[in-house]
Chains A and B, each alone.
Chain A
């Protein structure tokens, strides 16, 4: 099963400051360990929200809100995608990450086709397929 690990932002990440050489070193080592264990599928850092935007949806109205956004700790500054055999394994890996200072890292399981189960009825599947065919023609 696949997991996404969401790393929250901080005042430093929002200011666009690069982490210290020391932290980069330990993080690289941790990433290497994930790769060598065959666990890491992807992982990226995100630019500060000052380079991002939000779009607010209200009926037909679309409002664009430019960054930066407040509440740094509720923002995402980076993510990993892991392949693990169980939630417990993902937690074990996350426990080994070199974070500190009370930061909380969120772990979420990614939906896979089987998880939809009964919800994805043959009719819905067919409707999806029709939609995809039409998009493919464009």
Chain B
């Protein structure tokens, strides 16, 4: 293998092993920052040694053994520098833990460790941005520059965010555990929110020159699939995964040849990814079978499934979509859901009914500055033949929109309304 081929192979091993490695080390040292440092040290050692020695047969076990050895070396070094009685108890304990030989071998435990790590990086003591950055870094195996590029923020900002997040977790003494039954639902919804935030930033980028960023969707899908395998009895986990698979199935039909957005109604449905459609529909079935009351992600997946099953816009079961949005609106009380419901009502029962809902949202403070409010209103007005008003709405929407590709689309729709 050439050195660069070995480096690419090490990258691949890192992507496969890093989450389990950091999770396993966090269980031992009880500090995610120390665990990550040890894992990084092991990676550096691999980068030094593997180009010479070749990649070991069990690279995960090699990395774990190396990380533990480094941890022991580091602590021993400190012991000789300081006097032994000055060594704090925690470090002594860590040293003893690291010396136990059997830890890397217990595969099931390691899987549980990954789940514990997810709940830690998505802990409510952290800000939303911090949860996203830390989860992508520790569970997605993304580097700081990769995260910075994905969210269009400076590298220093992400690095700061991650350092502060790790400090916050340590200071708040956030335990390394899966939450108990009574708080599980609430904590799980935070985890699902983090994954869906990542997905959405890839699916409809809020800023920048690209309309979609598929790599972020892939990262979110991967996290969703990992979580679904770790928590197979949680309906909403399957619901979220089904929702993401169904939405991702449209990714390649969602962008035109010049990078412009293509809306659902105009998409070539033959270009949808049918493997993802099938996986999404199967995931939705699993979610629906698990318990009676459908959660918000499962309801959204059910809506996405109505589109996935339809061969065209006209053949879509719009009344069912309206009913599902009714359920979702009752559950969330969200004005964004209400706005989506207005679109479905327009399609099912005509633009007058849709406009009534849109206009009832006009003064909602949560939608102030949200470009999709005037965009939807413009859409409904076009259907009513009120083109001059529609044009104004599309122009207003374009003004509010931060994504360049989407703004171009809105402006072209304004132009299409005529003078």
Contacts and interface: CB of A to CB of B under 8 A. Distances in A.
Asked whether A and B interact, the reply is yes
Interface of A: 32, 35-39, 41-42, 81, 83, 85-86, 88-89, 91-93, 112-114, 122, 125, 128-129, 132, 136
Contact of B222 (A83, A92, A128): A83
A88 B8 contact: yes
By DSSP majority rule, is chain A's interface helix, strand, loop, or mixed? helix
Interface string B153-183: 0000000000000000000000000000000
A125 B257 contact: yes
A136 B271 CA distance: 13
B15 interface: yes
A92 B275 contact: no
Contacts of B225: 35, 38-39
A136 B12 contact: no
B221 interface: yes
B224 A36 contact: no
Nearest to B279: A41
B114 to A, nearest CB: 8
Interface in B1-29: 8-9, 11-13, 15-16
Contact of A42 (B59, B218, B275): B275
A136 B312 contact: yes
Contact of A38 (B222, B252, B271, B275): B222
Interface string B203-226: 000000000000000100111111
Given A91-B12, A92-B16, A93-B16, A122 B257 contact: yes
B16 A89 contact: yes
Nearest to B222: A38
Interface in B43-91: 59
Given A88-B11, A93-B16, A122-B257, A36 B226 contact: yes
A86 B225 CA distance: 18
B243 to A, nearest CB: 16
Nearest to A132: B270
Given A39-B222, A39-B225, A129-B268, 17 more contacts: A36-B226, A37-B226, A38-B223, A38-B226, A38-B229, A41-B275, A42-B275, A86-B8, A86-B15, A88-B11, A92-B9, A92-B13, A92-B16, A113-B252, A122-B257, A136-B311, A136-B312
A44 to B, nearest CB: 12
B13 A112 contact: no
Contacts of A129: 268, 270
B362 interface: no
Among A89, A92, A93, A125, the most chain B Cβ lie within 10 Å of the Cβ of A92
B230 interface: yes
B240 to A, nearest CB: 13
B111 interface: yes
A113 B214 CA distance: 13
Contacts of B275: 41-42, 81
Contacts of A88: 8-9, 11-12
A86 B12 contact: yes
Nearest to A40: B225
B221 A38 contact: yes
B145 to A, nearest CB: 15
Among A85, A114, A128, the most chain B Cβ lie within 10 Å of the Cβ of A85
A40 B15 CA distance: 15
Nearest to A38: B225
A86 B11 contact: yes
A129 B262 CA distance: 15
A51 to B, nearest CB: 24
B218 A83 contact: yes
A83 B13 CA distance: 15
Contacts of B59: 92
A36 B111 contact: yes
Contacts of A113: 252, 271
Contacts of B252: 112-114
A88 B10 CA distance: 9
B241 to A, nearest CB: 10
A89 B12 contact: yes
A126 to B, nearest CB: 10
Contacts of A112: 252
Nearest to B241: A38
A83 B226 CA distance: 13
Contact of B229 (A36, A41, A85, A136): A36
Nearest to A110: B275
Nearest to B224: A38
Contacts of B268: 129, 132
Contacts of A41: 275, 279
A85 B270 contact: no
